[in-house]
Amino acid sequence: MLTACGNDRSQQSAGQTEMNHDADEHEHEGTASTTMSNASMDGPIRKSDKAAAILDSYLAIKNALASDNSAEAATSGEAMVKAFASFDRASLDAKRQSDYDEIVEDAREHAEHIGENSGKIDHQREHFDLLSKDMMELVSVVGSDRTLYLDHCPMYNDNKGADWLSVSERIENPYYGSKMLTCGSMKNEIVPQ
């Protein structure tokens, strides 16, 4: 699998150059998702449909980026912002409300950036990386109504790698789209209980 990913290094390097931004532009203080521990995704996840609309929007962004469709990613980013606004946080206990609020503040900002940047797919992908970390945390707090797969691209972000959530065992890489659609591997299956 990694050999197939490595065959496109020249394309990866050229694309990566365009993604570098001024570090201050994307520095976010107090984010709940600066690090994603696999431990939170390795334990049991509650079966819950509370965040189904948020998850649907996230998955639509993922699919759009995997298809190199920046306009659809933007539309889905806008839908995600609306899904956050209509989420019934009162249905959560006090601890989960607090955790949710911390995660959503950052996640909403990334969804907004994706929604506002149609035509700038590399920029959308940068925010999708951060949004994915937030979504992993959100699923660990709120639960999921479906089985999810935690997938990993080893080459994104100057070979530091990046993760994403999917509903399919088939790898469809949102960070490189058609350049390296099948680059990556499944790290974990998340089955709500």
Domain spans in the chain, listed from the N-terminal domain onward: 2-15+46-190
Residue 171 and residue 29: Cα distance in Å, rounded? 32
Q: How far is CA 77 from CA 57, 68, 111, 190, 191, in A?
A: 7, 15, 5, 24, 25
Q: Which residue has the tokens 């996230």?
A: 58
Tens digit of pLDDT for each residue in 47-92?
Answer: 989 999 999 999 999 999 999 999 999 999 999 999 999 999 999 9
pTM attached to this predicted model: 0.81
pLDDT in tens, 84-130: 999 999 999 999 999 999 999 999 999 999 999 999 999 999 999 99
Q: What is the per-residue pLDDT for 42?
A: 54
Identify the pLDDT of residue 24: 34
Q: pLDDT tens digits for 133-192?
A: 999 999 999 999 999 999 999 999 999 999 999 999 999 999 999 999 999 999 999 999
- Residue 43 pLDDT level (bands cut at 50, 70, 90): low
Q: Amino acid identity of 69?
A: N
Cα separation of 9 and 62, whole Å? 22
Q: What is the pLDDT of residue 22?
A: 34
Residue 27 has pLDDT above 80, yes or no: no
Give the Cα separation of 134 and 42 in Å (integer). Answer: 16
What pLDDT, on the 0 to 100 scale, is given for residue 41?
Answer: 55
pLDDT at 34: 29
